[in-house]
């Protein structure tokens, strides 16, 4: 979340205006130097509060989160009921991954003074990641409603629209985007988001118009090119889709998803350039490995790219390569329900099922002699724990299927496994694109609720430990 502050007090000293300008221009280091020189213990509260807020913001922009958190705690102790200080404190807690504490700070700020849109947006962004989408929706709507400027708050509108789309509430999402664009019709990012929503609604011509308008405003907008390409492909306009995806790659050469999709299209082309296709697909995987190692992408994004490459290989009968990709994805917690289902149907067959087993597994390297840790494990790790959902006829089969899956991930490593059944629950439906959900549900009903045996999804990332 961007670290932004709203200061509700008049500037009492000229230095504060200069510091604020430096922060807005990205000169956080210069701003911090001025803040240090401006600090005096006897400053009145109306000056000390904005000084604290800007200092916290500057430290965050410099990446010094530890000192930003220390300063924010001090400020929150000193001004425990000031909404600007609480908002600054919540932002730092959010950045440092303390989401529940951040939510508490934003909730308190709203309770004290809920007139500012930014704190409602910040609260929504935190509680959404905590899984409370109802509370997040209300917070985003409050932020939009409270923004009395020339247009509604773009961050809240974009976040709300994205959440509604993910929930399959496409008509409501389209209303959010359309409402924003009526007030600011040339907002490039919102034009792209609106186009994505229209494409999901199968209003392809309208979606293309949105993407083309966005590109007329920003000719190298990579997301606009990418989504234009996807929409043209859905429309059946393959040559233009290829051209648009090529433009997406040119606009953002390091985008692994664009490379994966273009590689998948090329691999399925009867007149394909096989070397080009495989280069794009394996290049996409290599990029996500590097980006993940540098914490540049989320696990969800890595999963999206990996599934695209896996599906391309599987559909073109390159099954061994697809299995290797799935195996690597499993080791990195990038494997998806779709990938698991595809493999399970071939390997284990189907089962008429109304429930699924919740399984927890512990893997430990043999102690005598202790083999080297597998590639990709953290240094000095002796094992890991993970949680899974497994479709099986009984508990014994659930254990066997879990062991089969885990042993396949690192077949050359000697590992001891402890697999425990911890519960049963309603069988999970794999997550699908909203456009495909109705057809998938109908197919599921027609199949008599038959599901593929095996690990259906990974419920928690590997937690590595050192046990010696």
Span 237-257, pLDDT tens digits: 999 999 999 999 899 988 999
SS3 sequence, 22-60? Answer: HHHCCCHHHHHHHHHHHCCCCCCHHHHHHHHHHHHHHHH
Confidence band of 9 (pLDDT split at 50, 70, 90): very low
Q: What pLDDT is stored for residue 151 in this prediction?
A: 59
How far is the C-alpha of 248 from the C-alpha of 157, rounded, in Å? 25
Written as six digits, the tokens of 136 are: 């997040």
- Cα Dmax for the chain: 76
Q: Considering the chain, what is the average pLDDT of its residues?
A: 87
Is residue 440 over pLDDT 50?
no
Q: Please enumerate in sequence order all residues whose Cβ is within 8 A of that of 436, keeping only pairs 6 or more positions apart, or say none.
A: none
Phi, psi (rounded to 5 degrees) for 105: -65, -45
Written as six digits, the tokens of 348 are: 């284990």
How far is the C-alpha of 322 from the C-alpha of 314, rounded, in Å? 6
pLDDT digits (tens, 9 = 90+) for 292-308: 988 888 899 999 999 99
Q: What pLDDT is stored for residue 52 in this prediction?
A: 87
Confidence band of 351 (pLDDT split at 50, 70, 90): confident
- Cβ neighbours around 179 below 10 Å, total: 14
DSSP state of 219: T
Written as six digits, the tokens of 110 are: 């709203």
Q: What is the reported pTM?
A: 0.75
Span 251-267, average pLDDT:
93
Cα–Cα distances in angstroms (integers) from residue 406 to residues 45, 332, 421, in the given order = 59, 12, 15
pLDDT digits (tens, 9 = 90+) for 79-127: 999 999 999 999 999 999 899 999 999 999 999 998 889 999 999 999 9
Asked whether the beta carbons of 322 and 282 are under 8 A apart, the reply is no
Q: What pLDDT is stored for residue 439 in this prediction?
A: 43
Is residue 200 over pLDDT 60?
yes
Q: What pLDDT is stored for residue 437 in this prediction?
A: 47
How far is the C-alpha of 185 from the C-alpha of 338, rounded, in Å? 38
How far is the C-alpha of 231 from the C-alpha of 244, rounded, in Å? 10
Q: Please enumerate in sequence order all residues whose Cβ is within 8 A of that of 18, keeping only pairs 6 or more positions apart, or say none.
A: 34
* Closest C-alpha among 105, 114, 168 to residue 141: 114
pLDDT digits (tens, 9 = 90+) for 383-414: 999 999 999 999 999 999 999 999 999 887 78
SS3 sequence, 74-131? Answer: HHHHHCCCCHHHHHHHHHHHHHCCCHHHHHHHHHHHHHHCCCCHHHHHHHHHHHHHCC
Confidence band of 450 (pLDDT split at 50, 70, 90): confident
Written as six digits, the tokens of 187 are: 């907002």
pLDDT digits (tens, 9 = 90+) for 38-83: 777 777 787 888 888 888 888 888 888 999 899 999 999 999 999 9
Phi, psi (rounded to 5 degrees) for 29: -65, -45
Span 193-210, average pLDDT:
97
Confidence band of 445 (pLDDT split at 50, 70, 90): very low
**9-13, 23-27, 144-148, 343-347: range with lowest mean pLDDT:** 9-13
Asked whether the beta carbons of 28 and 105 are under 8 A apart, the reply is no
Q: What pLDDT is stored for residue 375 in this prediction?
A: 78
Confidence band of 330 (pLDDT split at 50, 70, 90): very high
- How would you classify the pairing of strands 450-452 and 355-365? unpaired
């Amino acid at each position: 979340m961007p670290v932004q502050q709203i200061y509700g007090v008049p500037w009492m000293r000229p230095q504060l205006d200069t510091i604020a300008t430096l922060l807005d221009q990205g000169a956080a280091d210069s701003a911090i130097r001025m803040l240090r020189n401006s600090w005096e213990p006897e400053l009145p509260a109306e000056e000390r509060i904005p000084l604290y807020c800007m200092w916290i913001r500057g430290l965050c922009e410099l990446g010094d989160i530890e000192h930003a958190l220390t300063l924010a705690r001090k400020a929150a102790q000193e001004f425990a009921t000031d909404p600007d200080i609480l908002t600054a404190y919540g932002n730092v807690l959010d950045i440092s991954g303390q989401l529940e504490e951040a939510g508490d700070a934003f909730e308190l700020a709203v309770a004290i003074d809920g007139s500012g849109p930014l704190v409602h947006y910040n609260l929504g962004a935190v509680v959404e990641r905590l899984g409370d989408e109802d509370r997040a929706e209300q917070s985003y709507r409050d932020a939009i409603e409270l923004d009395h400027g020339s247009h509604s708050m773009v961050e809240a509108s974009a976040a709300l629209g994205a959440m509604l789309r993910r929930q399959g509430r496409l008509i409501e999402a389209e209303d959010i985007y359309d409402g924003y664009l009526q007030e600011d019709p040339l907002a490039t990012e919102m034009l792209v988001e609106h186009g994505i929503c229209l494409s999901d609604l199968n209003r392809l011509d309208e979606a293309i118009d949105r993407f083309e308008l966005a590109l007329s405003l920003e000719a190298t907008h990579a997301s606009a090119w990418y989504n234009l390409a996807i929409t043209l492909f859905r429309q059946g306009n393959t040559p233009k889709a290829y051209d648009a995806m090529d433009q997406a790659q040119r606009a953002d050469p390091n985008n692994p998803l664009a490379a994966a999709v273009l590689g998948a299209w090329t691999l399925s082309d009867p007149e394909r350039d096989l070397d080009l296709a495989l280069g794009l697909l394996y290049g996409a995987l290599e990029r996500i490995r590097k980006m993940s190692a540098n914490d540049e992408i989320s696990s969800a994004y890595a999963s999206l790219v990996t599934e695209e490459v896996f599906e391309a290989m599987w559909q073109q009968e390159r099954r061994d390569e697809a299995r290797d990709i799935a195996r690597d994805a499993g080791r990195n917690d990038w494997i998806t329900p779709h990938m698991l289902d595809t493999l399970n149907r071939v390997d284990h067959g189907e089962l008429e099922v109304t429930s699924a087993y919740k399984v927890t597994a512990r893997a430990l390297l043999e102690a005598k002699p202790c083999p080297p840790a597998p590639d990709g494990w953290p240094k000095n790790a002796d094992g890991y724990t993970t949680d899974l959902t497994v479709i099986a006829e009984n508990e014994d089969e659930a254990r066997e299927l879990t062991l089969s899956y885990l042993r396949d991930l690192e077949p050359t490593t000697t590992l001891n496994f402890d697999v425990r059944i911890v519960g049963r629950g309603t069988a999970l439906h794999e997550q699908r694109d909203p456009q495909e959900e109705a057809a998938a549900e109908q197919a599921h009903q027609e199949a008599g609720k038959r599901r593929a045996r095996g690990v259906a999804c990974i419920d928690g990332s590997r937690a590595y430990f050192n046990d010696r």
